[in-house]
Amino acid sequence: MSLEDASLDILPGELLAVVGENGAGKSSLMNVLYGLYQPDAGTFLMDGKPVRLKSPRDAIARGIGMVHQHFMLVPTLTVAENVVLGREPTRRGLLDLNRACAEVAATAKRFGFQLDPRARVDTLTVGSQQKVEIVKALHRGAQVLILDEPTAVLTPQESDELAQVMRGLVAQGRTVVLISHKLKEVLGVADRVAVMRRGRTVAVVRAAETSVSALASLMVGEGSRGAALTGVPATSAPGVHDSQGEHAGTVTAGPIVLEAKDLRAKGDNGRPALQGVSLTVHAGEIVGIAGVDGNGQRELAEVLTGLRALEGGGGTLLGGPLAGLTPTLAKARGVGHVPEDRLARAVVKAMTVEENVALGRHRQPPFARGPWVDFKGRRERATQLLATYDVRPPDPTVALQALSGGNQQKVVVARELDAEPKLLVVVQPTRGLDIGAVAQVHARLREAKARGAGVVMVSLDLEEVLALSDRVYVLYEGRVTGHFPRKDLDERELGRRMLGAESDHG
């Protein structure tokens, strides 16, 4: 998304949140601030003086640091080595590791971080890796710290710790700029909130004087729609209703469509990724899979869709054995799949949108007539789905790669749900989508459930898991550490199980 006359004032010693729909320009504006992008017009002032940042090096030299959503760490190096990388203290021309550890330990202690400078980064939790990124920026003198979706992969406990870290930095005179789509979280920590829409800053409000629904209205530019798009709230209390008025805690259990027992599988690195996972899914329910990223969720989804071989265990899926499952067999039985990596697993970028919509069903009506492609039928179905899912541009003839990532995701979701699967496995279904599209996808998943499909939903967004799931399994290091019916869902307890606590739930 390009910026169109975007303006933003950042005050010293404040926590400023920047919110907006996907493509609103949040990241583009922050990348200008960090020197990654060069503005075509406009001025950038620091302390009232014009400044041109040609690169992140210039930004760092002027006290601006940025922690990206995807960490920029070298996993096989230690905490200290990552923090001093590019600015290593040396002795006789070699890295002085003892000095590096001492310096990094001093920085961490100064800002209240508990980090072992000699620990390898790949042994740390996601929350601790994020702290390493923050310490790295502070070690380089950052006075303004930009955090891009920092809680996207954190547990509730880790998010609470990060909130304390951010407030602590502000108390020490630092300025924090927080990019986030979690409006409730933003209001709990920010001093001011800047709202962007279509490349412009449309409002800056004090957090204490606004609400989630008011921010949502500003983000989408329509009062009634904005309030509606806040969706089903995450809650531990029973009696939640979804957008169709259905009681989300009431599940009429249908027949079992998936019964997995003691599943074991290896990850891409050859190490155990699933270590005895058992779960069941009934027709007409959404089963959430919660966990910190990298604890077996992706491998579980791949086993259930035939993309990864089992090393042990088994069970049944839609009347057939799980052992020996292939993607072709899975699809023939009625399994739909929205994968985590759509470019690698779900689409062909160079093909048109309508060709991608037909993938997997290209020999069936309305995409084919006998052995021949039904060009008219394919065009009509694709056009209908693009309109239903608000894909932009709504042109079935353009190459898929011409669409934004969020719109590519809409195409995948539309295609898989249009096939009316009996079991739908979705991984990060709303990643990269704006608030309106998220609400739409959630509504479609509920429709699939109401049709009688079983849904397995893997999501790193705990609010999404809580909002949609009838039951939740928690994975930690490839094992189930918790199994919760909706009436027992509690954000804090789920977060505890995501960190490895054993479950006493059935």
pLDDT digits (tens, 9 = 90+) for 98-118: 999 999 999 999 988 889 999
Does a structural domain hold residue 439?
yes
Rounded Cα distance between 90 and 87, Å, is 9
C-alpha to C-alpha distance for 143 and 489, rounded to whole angstroms: 40
Same domain? For 221 and 262 the reply is: no
Cis peptide before 255 (omega within 30 of 0): no
pLDDT digit string, tens, across residues 329-344: 999 999 999 998 888 8
* 81: alpha, beta or left? (left if phi > 0; alpha if psi -120 to 50): alpha
Residues 301, 427 contacting (CB under 8 angstroms): yes
Q: State residue 26's pLDDT score.
A: 85
Do 2 and 9 contact (CB within 8 A), yes or no? no
Q: Are 216 and 204 in contact (CB under 8 A)?
A: no
Chain centroid offset of residue 153 CA = 7
Question: Is there a domain that residue 455 lies in?
Answer: yes
Q: Same structural domain for residues 415 and 431?
A: no
Q: Please confirm whether the linkage preceding 50 is cis (ω < 30° from 0).
A: no
Q: Identify the DSSP state of 54.
A: -
Which CA distances in Å does 423 have to 50, 331, 359, 369?
Answer: 57, 10, 18, 27
Runs of H (alpha helix) within 172-323: 183-189, 212-220, 223-228, 297-304
Phi and psi dihedrals of 185, rounded to 5?
A: -65, -40
Dihedrals phi, psi of 163, to nearest 5 degrees? -60, -40
Do 86 and 148 fall into the same domain?
Answer: yes
Residue from 307, 413, 419, 402 nearest 360 by CA? 419
* CB distance 428 to 406 below 8 Å: no
- What pLDDT, on a 0 to 100 scale, did the predictor assign at position 231? 38
Residue 314 domain-assigned (yes or no): no
Last residue of one domain, picked from the residues 420, 435, 457: 420
Which pLDDT belongs to residue 23? Answer: 65
6 part of a folded domain: no
Name which of 415, 411, 390 is nearest 402 in CA terms.
411
Residues 6+ apart with CB under 8 A from 41: none
- What span, in angstroms and rounded, lies between the C-alpha atoms of 256 and 320? 12
Tell me how crowded residue 390 is: count the other CB atoms within 10 A of its CB.
Answer: 13
CATH number (domain holding residue 94): 3.40.50.300
* pTM attached to this predicted model: 0.70
Q: Rounded to the nearest 5°, which phi and psi values hold at 256?
A: -70, 125
Asked whether residue 468 is domain-assigned, the answer is yes
* Same-domain pairing of 256 and 364: no
Check if the beta carbon of residue 53 is closer than 8 Å to that of residue 171: no
Question: In terms of domains, do 409 and 442 share one?
Answer: no
Question: Cα separation of 441 and 429, whole Å?
Answer: 8
What is the residue whose two structure tokens read 């960490």?
Answer: 71
Neighbours of 131 (CB within 10 A): 23
Q: Which of 366, 392, 420 is the last residue of a domain?
A: 420
Q: Domain count for the chain, please give it.
A: 3
Same domain, residue pair 194 and 242: no
Q: What is the pLDDT of residue 183?
A: 85
Distance from chain centroid for Cα 505: 27
Q: At residue 349, what is the residue type?
A: K
53 and 22, same structural domain? yes
* pLDDT for residue 228: 34
| 204 Rama class: left (phi>0) / alpha (psi -120 to 50) / beta | beta
* Cβ neighbours for 180, distance < 8 A, ≥ 6 positions apart: 17, 18, 19, 149, 150, 151, 186
Domain hosting 37: range is 15-228
Produce one character per residue of 324-341: b if its CB has 16 or more CB atoms within 10 Å, e if not.
Answer: ebeeeebbebbbbbbbbe
The first and second tokens of residue 408, run together, are 């590519």
Are residues 121 and 33 both part of a single domain? yes
CA 306 – CA 282 distance, rounded (Å): 19
Residue 364 lies in a domain: yes
Q: What is the pLDDT along the chain (506 residues), one digit of tens a residue?
A: 468 888 899 999 999 999 987 667 888 899 899 998 888 888 889 988 999 899 999 999 999 999 987 788 999 999 999 999 988 999 988 989 999 999 999 999 998 888 999 999 988 887 889 899 999 999 999 999 999 888 877 778 888 888 999 999 999 999 999 998 778 889 999 999 999 988 899 999 999 999 988 998 888 775 433 333 333 333 322 223 333 333 344 455 699 999 999 999 999 888 899 999 999 999 999 999 998 778 899 999 999 999 999 999 999 999 999 999 999 999 999 999 999 888 888 999 999 999 999 999 999 999 999 999 999 999 999 999 999 998 989 999 999 998 877 789 899 999 999 999 999 999 999 876 777 788 889 999 999 999 999 999 999 888 899 999 999 999 999 999 999 999 998 888 888 888 776 544 44
Residues 110 and 202 in one domain: yes
For residue 413, tell me if it sits in a domain.
yes
Same domain, 248 and 385: no
Q: Which two tokens stand for residue 166?
A: 């951010």
* Euclidean distance between CA atoms 222 and 205, whole angstroms: 17
Q: Is residue 312 part of a domain?
A: no
In this structure, are strands 454-458 and 312-317 parallel, antiparallel, or unpaired? unpaired
Residues 168 and 247 in one domain: no
Q: Give the number of other Cβ atoms within 10 Å of residue 350's Cβ.
A: 10
Q: Are residues 155 and 218 in the same domain?
A: yes
Going by C-beta distance under 8 Å and a sequence separation of 6 or more, which residues neighbour residue 35? Answer: 53, 54, 55, 56, 57, 58, 59, 64
| CA–CA dist 30, 202 (Å, integer) | 16
For tokens 């547990």, name the residue: 155
Domain boundary among 368, 402, 420: 420
Residues 398/353, Cβ–Cβ less than 8 Å: yes
